[in-house]
Amino acid sequence: MSTKLKYFIAGEAGGLNKQTGRIDMHGIFDVLTSPIFPIVIPNMAILIGIEANGKEQTLELRLNSPKDELLGKIQVTFPPTYPGLTAKQTLKLEKLPVILKGKYTVDILEVKAKGGYQFIATEDLFTAVFPPKREFKEGEIEEILKRDDVIKTVITDYKVPDNEKVFKFQLSLDPNEKLPEGVQPFPQDDKLVVDGKEYDLTGIRRNVEWMFGRKKQQPQSEENVETENSNKNIN
């Protein structure tokens, strides 16, 4: 008879609370939003609960990419717990790479005492997505362009992953906005090709579009924003 999975929860941090004897989880999420990929999650915690059988139990977790490629394996051992109760453990992950958009999953298998594995379940870890697309209301762009105290133009730096090349792009609600020296217009199709490899800039466009209409932080006509691989948001 295979082990029964009771719950599988991912968050930013978690572990045993020494004061209460309970497990605390913080920043629980199932969607990771970022304007660019790849990125790295500095820290992550996974809480696993299984139905105890009174003996020591060991599971192997296999992390899969959206392309169903194996990213890594982790084994976790649960101490003997009274049968019928829930045995719990937390795993702490560091510098987890998120290479591309899509759903990341975990295959959970029981490691048998006499050798071999017993499949238990496949669980969703999280789904990596670009920011949502902004839908401007009728007349909203025109109202933004009338004001001088809000962001209408954004210049952003894009560093090509695993490359020293940096591109400086401009996005503006004003089609007549002039380009400063050394700045390129943002690609209309949101695609950038470097050395024969294509990069999807859709997430950057969407991230910038949500800035339009916000109050300026400084008294200037442009808001300079640097887009690096560490720029990410977790929901």
Please identify, among 129, 149, 168, the residue that sits at the C-terminal boundary of a domain: 129
Per-residue pLDDT tens digits for 176-186: 999 999 999 99
* 11 and 125 housed in the same domain: yes
The pLDDT value given to residue 6:
95
State the Cα–Cα distance between residues 11 and 63, nearest whole angstrom. 15
- Say how many residues make up the chain: 235
Give the strand order in the sheet containing 70-78: 70-78, 57-64, 102-111, 117-129, 31-33, 233-234
Whole domain around residue 47: which residue ranges? 5-129
Within 10 angstroms of residue 49's Cβ, the number of other Cβ atoms is 18
Q: Does any domain span residue 235?
A: no
* 113 and 152 housed in the same domain: no
Per-residue pLDDT tens digits for 119-136: 999 999 999 999 999 999
Please identify, among 129, 155, 177, the residue that sits at the C-terminal boundary of a domain: 129
* 209 and 161 housed in the same domain: yes
Please identify, among 129, 152, 179, the residue that sits at the C-terminal boundary of a domain: 129
Per-residue pLDDT tens digits for 1-38: 678 999 999 999 998 888 887 889 999 999 999 999 99
Q: Amino acid identity, residue 153?
A: T
Structure tokens given for 140: 């909203």
Read off the pTM. 0.83
The pLDDT value given to residue 223:
53
The DSSP code for 205 is H
* 118 and 15 housed in the same domain: yes
Q: Does any domain span residue 121?
A: yes
The pLDDT value given to residue 22:
86
Q: What total number of domains does the chain contain?
A: 2
Q: Does any domain span residue 10?
A: yes
What CATH number does residue 21 fall under? 2.60.40.2550
Per-residue pLDDT tens digits for 90-114: 999 999 999 999 999 999 999 998 8
